[in-house]
Amino acid sequence: MSLRVALIGALSVFFLAGCGNSRENPADGRYRFLHAAPTLGTSGFLLEERLIATLNYTDGNGSTLLDSGPFDFNVETPSLVSATNERTVRLAATIVAGHDHTFVLFDDTGSPALVEYARPFVEVSGTNAGLEILHAFSGGPRVDLYIEVDGADLAAATPRGTLTFKQILDPFTVPSGSYRLSATEPGNPANVFYQSTVFALADGSQALIGVFGDAGIGTGLIRAAIANSTASASVSLPDALSPSELRTIHAATTAGPLDVVSEGDFMNPLHASIAFGEISSYAPVPNGESALQVTPAGDPGVLEIDDTLNAATGTRLTQIINGEPGALTAVILNDNNRGRASRALYRVRHGGQLLPTVDLYLAPPGTGPDITDLQPVAIGLFSGGGEFLSTVLPGEVELLVVENDQDATTADTNIIAGPVPVAMADGRVYDIVLLDSATAGTLDVVVSDETGQ
């Protein structure tokens, strides 16, 4: 296995090497990309000047044949000074005939870098499948790694190897079928740091599994993803041992305090006596399907909501409760709290119900209530749990909320909230919640930093 590192630096343009020269058709190697940089958002991966893949954190693509010879592999990551991506990484590498080359984007040095992993082709046929495993969790523990069928006793199994950050296991084969990946303390299979959801390996398939830090995507410490050599995208493998978590926003204007209950445990509510306008903390709920009830505080005999919560493994969720007593409704939204370098991520969630549809504006500081020359960032955000998710360059902004009268023949100019100053810091994730105000015809705005929770 060879390994090369290219740090941010020289960005000069190199033209295609290995093509258009006097050589006869050279033998092929293969290459692929993997995004393992938790602080970076969606990035472009290029062969010379050709965009090959657009990947987000934990994403990988399939393997592609390429003539042997020298090439430049480039990455474009989000810019800190504009809304576009900029060229930040160039790695000059030589594709070797009969070898697989995996180019992995890391950010552990404070700057983006590509690391190349190269190995000879491993042919897999019949009812077997081939695997490689890469430890891509900067700051993560050294681990023993197991590939076993569901329910296997790890104490009776043999780890496939022990890895630290940036190490990769030599390729190995297993019978095709369904498996779990487990990561444990070295020499102590009873101390399980992570166990994947079940994944399938088809006959003759070859795949790379990356082991990553969760980085606020979900509730676990570790997550993984599997990229099959013939697939266009990887499949996420969250931590099956980590429960999901739910919090509640009480936005039902005329309802009194509420209890939120999981699986009928009325004696121990997830969230007890939540008042209007309150945003609860997260509380654990089962992965998969579970019963979710809402009652007036302390009154389990009255079910305002009796529904089924379907929580994807290890996710954080927010429930927004709206409506009138006797007819309450709930909307469940997913919370991905991973920050992105060079950007601030924000989620605007419309919990108000007295002003049903709104437009959103982000303005430079000091703009004030004049929106004449501004373009909305979102139009027609509906009440009762409508969500708008986007990113913005870091800095100070003012948020304005305008009533949308749903009449296309008139201009919407009635400002019902703001301008509210919001400091959007680099790499942070913000929730912006709109709630009915005590002042008729207006909304209250609640801003919170959710990064990494």
Pairing mode, strands 316-324 and 85-95:
unpaired
Instruction: Indicate the CATH number for domain 1-121.
Output: 2.60.40
Q: What residue segments make up the domains of the chain, in order of their start?
A: 1-121, 130-241, 244-334, 339-449
pLDDT at 4: 43
pLDDT at 370: 82
pLDDT at 11: 36
pLDDT at 293: 96
Query: What CA–CA distances, in Å, run from 392 to 20, 340, 362?
Result: 42, 10, 9
Given the structure tokens 């919407």, which residue do they identify?
A: 412
Question: What's the CATH fold of domain 339-449?
Answer: Immunoglobulin-like (2.60.40)
93, amino acid identity = A
pTM value > 0.85: yes
Tell me the pLDDT tens digit for each residue of 228-255: 988 888 999 999 999 999 999 999 999 9
Pairing mode, strands 288-296 and 283-285:
unpaired
pLDDT at 12: 36
Let me know if the fold of 1-121 is the same as that of 339-449: yes
Q: Give residues with Cβ within 8 angstroms of 179, minimum separation 6.
A: 147, 148, 149, 150, 198, 199, 200, 201
Which of 104, 156, 108 is CA-nearest to residue 132?
104
Say how many C-beta atoms besides its own lie within 10 A of residue 282's C-beta.
18
Dist CA 112 CA 103 (whole Å): 12
Low-confidence ranges of the chain (pLDDT < 70): 1-24
Given the structure tokens 């180019």, which residue do they identify?
A: 103
Structural class in CATH, domain 244-334: mainly beta
Q: Give residues with Cβ within 8 angstroms of 340, minimum separation 6.
A: 39, 40, 41, 78, 391, 427
pLDDT at 368: 77
Instruction: Indicate the CATH number for domain 130-241.
Output: 2.60.40
**CA angle, 202 then 193 then 287, to 5°:** 70
